[in-house]
Chains A and B, each alone.
Chain A
Amino acid sequence: MKLRDTLQLSFNTVASYRTRSLLIVLAMALGVAAVVVLTALGDGARRYVVGKFSSIGTNLIIVLPGRAETAGGFPGAVLAQTPRDLTLEDARFVGQLLQVKRYAPLNVGVAELAAAGRLREVTVLGSTADLLPIRHMNLAQGSFLAQGAEYSAQIILGAKIAQEFFPQGNVIGQRMRLGDRRFLVSGVLAIQGESMGFNSDELVIIPIDHAQALFNTASLFRILVEARSRSDIESAKEAIRDTLKRRHDGEDDVTVITQDAVLATFDRILRALTLGVAGIAAISLAVAGILVMNVMLVAVSQRTAEIGLLKAIGAPSADIRLLFFAEALWLSLAGAALGFVLGQFGSLLIRLAYPQLPAWPPVWASLAGVTIAFVTGILASLLPAARAAQLDPVKALAGR
């Protein structure tokens, strides 16, 4: 029997048992779709988290005062016990390193902001002009802290603060009082929402010198450093540590963390999660495989007389085995294809429902889903096909 005829004959058989075939195909398709959709969700979550982290800057290195040997604690919390403070001068030395593209010293505090008869407490960031590009922040209007104009009393408002104080717009050039000092509004940040614990919509930014004077401190909260390239991150990290150690009389009293390391950890965790979810979905495919086996076994016993006839008119066992095998092949093929389409459609629905979640099914997951459907379908047909091939023609013809 020619392969083409085998495929055609088995296709006709599958097509003529419409309800039965449809149910199997559906079971397979749901399994494949579950793998595709769930991995799309998992991978979407991973991309979402990684994207959030990346949005705080590229090739970012963060320098904190104090040595945090105990992992897991928030290193900034040991600020009070730090033997030596990080200073603006430290930051300038870091900025001169070859591997460093730009840097921004950072001070954080809380102060009372007042203008136009309104009053509220705000988080104040003191920094320099480079904070904007390093942190990937955008301005909605006006200009950021001017380069080299650290001493001028400018203030940049978060989007929500600007909205609260000046609901009619017309913000630029307004006078505001922050603590006991007066500032001129020079810019408003674009709406960004929360990232890394900071809600940039509800803070204000002033020049670092003013911040140090306002909070009466010479020490820095952090230094944000952007390395020249991804490959420079490690050597920049070493260079920063060396420089600061030298400046701090040989004492290794700063913590240098890289965004890369944090990112890699999240990436790993979420990948593992996606794999786990995909594994659970794959179990449903195995169940579908058992269903295929069950249905094929029933088909063999229903079609016993027909198998006997095929033998009587000269079909060798191998042809009969192939016929049943091909039936399972068609069912798996249809199930896998339908499941793939359903999965892509489901992922599309998720993306439409949650636009911020990039729920694209990974290629490997789609391939794995389709492959597992195929393999289980084929494995499940081996036993029924062998049983059909081994039927005794005399008994089979008698319907026994």
Chain B
Amino acid sequence: MGDQEVRALSGINLEIASGEYVSLMGPSGSGKTTLLNVLGLLDRPNSGRYELDGKDVTDLSEVEQARVRREKIGFVFQSFHLVPRLTAAENIELPLMLAGTAPAERKARVDETLLSFDLLDRARHRPAELSGGQRQRVAIARATILRPTILLADEPTGNLDHRIGAEVMALLEGLHHAGATLILVTHDRELGARAHRRIAMRDGEIVADER
């Protein structure tokens, strides 16, 4: 507003260990999504440092940041963000394509992923022909096909009904049990309470950090 600076985040001092299950909660505008974007290298802080796997990634070049996103980070969005023109299999294949993987290997890995996410019979369907739960499964499959160490989920069940939402959460928690760091943004208290570490935010600041 005017020349008054809006601080989306301030005074954040946070350390997340590898393999943790963290929920970020807070009202809208509290900065939880912004924090998630910074963790996912989609947003750059104006000041401060961000170390990932012991390496300072704050000032990496655009190309290097894209590479880190590709290799270490998997995003899961509330609105799935599937490419409507591509089939489920092609959507899942996208990160492999961006990584420059050879077509034969791509096909093997996509098939394997389709199988483990129970999507084999939906492989040739476009997003419009899939149910909400199936779409989110495709999106999670896409986020994890390059086996990232960090999963960033922004309201992953926000567009799903309770039963399907529970299925998706079970899927994400399963990936966490397999070793991934899971960071979940939600304003659903019940959902947030499932995490081993619960961080509450308000006005861009961390107000609680419970384990």
By the criterion CB–CB under 8 Å, are B85 and A313 in contact? no
Chain A: number of interface residues, binned into ranges: 20 to 34
Q: Beta-carbon contacts of A53-92 to B below 8 Å, as 1s and 0s?
A: 0000000000000000000000000000000000000000
Shortest Cβ gap from B147 to chain A (Å): 13
Knowing A5-B97, A319-B98, the reply to whether A397 touches B66 (Cβ < 8 A) is no
By the criterion CB–CB under 8 Å, are B63 and A316 in contact? yes
Bound form: Cα–Cα A331–B62 in Å? 29
Q: List which A1-18 residues lie within 8 A (CB) of chain B.
A: 1-2, 5, 9, 12-13, 16
Contact of A12 (CB < 8 Å), options: B37, B67, B85: B85
Q: Beta-carbon contacts of B55-68 to A below 8 Å, as 1s and 0s?
A: 00000001100110
Shortest Cβ gap from B79 to chain A (Å): 8
In the complex, B189 has a CB within 8 A of chain A: no
Question: For residue A397, which residues in chain B have a CB less than 8 angstroms away from its CB?
Answer: 42, 77, 81
Nearest-CB residue, chain B, relative to A315: B98
Question: For residue A2, which residues in chain B have a CB less than 8 angstroms away from its CB?
Answer: 97, 100
Q: Beta-carbon contacts of B69-95 to A below 8 Å, as 1s and 0s?
A: 111000101000101011000000011
Q: List which A299-353 residues lie within 8 A (CB) of chain B.
A: 305-306, 308-319
Shortest Cβ gap from A13 to chain B (Å): 6
In the complex, A394 has a CB within 8 A of chain B: yes
Question: For residue A393, which residues in chain B have a CB less than 8 angstroms away from its CB?
Answer: 42
By the criterion CB–CB under 8 Å, are B70 and A314 in contact? yes
Question: For residue A313, which residues in chain B have a CB less than 8 angstroms away from its CB?
Answer: 69-70, 75, 94-95, 98, 142-143
Knowing A314-B66, A314-B70, the reply to whether A309 touches B100 (Cβ < 8 A) is no
Chain B: number of interface residues, binned into ranges: 20 to 34
Q: Beta-carbon contacts of A283-313 to B below 8 Å, as 1s and 0s?
A: 0000000000000000000000110111111
Q: Beta-carbon contacts of B124-153 to A below 8 Å, as 1s and 0s?
A: 000000000000000000110000000000
Shortest Cβ gap from A289 to chain B (Å): 25
Of B67, B83, B100, B142, the most chain A CB neighbours within 10 A belong to B83
By the criterion CB–CB under 8 Å, are B42 and A311 in contact? yes
Question: For residue A12, which residues in chain B have a CB less than 8 angstroms away from its CB?
Answer: 85-86
Bound form: Cα–Cα A308–B37 in Å? 12
Q: List which A203-234 residues lie within 8 A (CB) of chain B.
A: none
In the complex, B99 has a CB within 8 A of chain A: yes
Question: For residue A317, which residues in chain B have a CB less than 8 angstroms away from its CB?
Answer: 62-63, 66
Q: Beta-carbon contacts of A1-41 to B below 8 Å, as 1s and 0s?
A: 11001000100110010000000000000000000000000
Shortest Cβ gap from A116 to chain B (Å): 85
By the criterion CB–CB under 8 Å, are B98 and A310 in contact? yes
Question: For residue A319, which residues in chain B have a CB less than 8 angstroms away from its CB?
Answer: 98
In the complex, B167 has a CB within 8 A of chain A: no
Bound form: Cα–Cα A393–B69 in Å? 12
Bound form: Cα–Cα A12–B89 in Å? 14
Question: For residue B97, which residues in chain A have a CB less than 8 angstroms away from its CB?
Answer: 1-2, 5, 9
By the criterion CB–CB under 8 Å, are B86 and A311 in contact? no
Question: For residue A310, which residues in chain B have a CB less than 8 angstroms away from its CB?
Answer: 94, 98
By the criterion CB–CB under 8 Å, are A394 and B100 in contact? no
Shortest Cβ gap from B106 to chain A (Å): 9
Of B69, B71, B98, B100, the most chain A CB neighbours within 10 A belong to B98
Knowing A312-B42, A397-B42, the reply to whether A1 touches B98 (Cβ < 8 A) is yes
Nearest-CB residue, chain A, relative to B93: A5
By the criterion CB–CB under 8 Å, are A305 and B81 in contact? yes
Knowing A313-B69, A316-B63, A318-B63, the reply to whether A394 touches B94 (Cβ < 8 A) is no
Q: List which B9-34 residues lie within 8 A (CB) of chain A.
A: none
In the complex, B43 has a CB within 8 A of chain A: yes
Knowing A2-B100, A5-B97, A393-B42, the reply to whether A311 touches B83 (Cβ < 8 A) is no
By the criterion CB–CB under 8 Å, are A13 and B42 in contact? no
In the complex, B40 has a CB within 8 A of chain A: yes
Q: List which A152-172 residues lie within 8 A (CB) of chain B.
A: none
Question: For residue A394, which residues in chain B have a CB less than 8 angstroms away from its CB?
Answer: 37, 42-43
Shortest Cβ gap from A6 to chain B (Å): 9
Bound form: Cα–Cα A51–B143 in Å? 71
Knowing A13-B85, A306-B83, the reply to whether A314 touches B42 (Cβ < 8 A) is no
Contact of A314 (CB < 8 Å), options: B77, B86, B98: B98
Question: For residue A5, which residues in chain B have a CB less than 8 angstroms away from its CB?
Answer: 97, 100
By the criterion CB–CB under 8 Å, are B100 and A311 in contact? no
Bound form: Cα–Cα A315–B70 in Å? 8
Bound form: Cα–Cα A394–B69 in Å? 14
Bound form: Cα–Cα A16–B69 in Å? 28
Sort A-B residue pairs by CB-CB distance and give the 8 closest, nearest first: A314-B70, A316-B66, A309-B81, A16-B85, A314-B69, A316-B63, A393-B42, A5-B97
- Show 6 residue pairs from A and B whose CB-CB distance is below 8 angstroms, ordered by the A residue: A5-B100, A12-B85, A16-B85, A305-B81, A313-B70, A393-B42
Contacts beyond the supplied A9-B97, A319-B98, A397-B81: 15 A-B pairs with Cβ under 8 Å: A5-B97, A12-B85, A13-B85, A305-B81, A306-B83, A309-B77, A310-B98, A311-B42, A312-B81, A314-B71, A315-B66, A315-B98, A316-B66, A318-B63, A394-B43
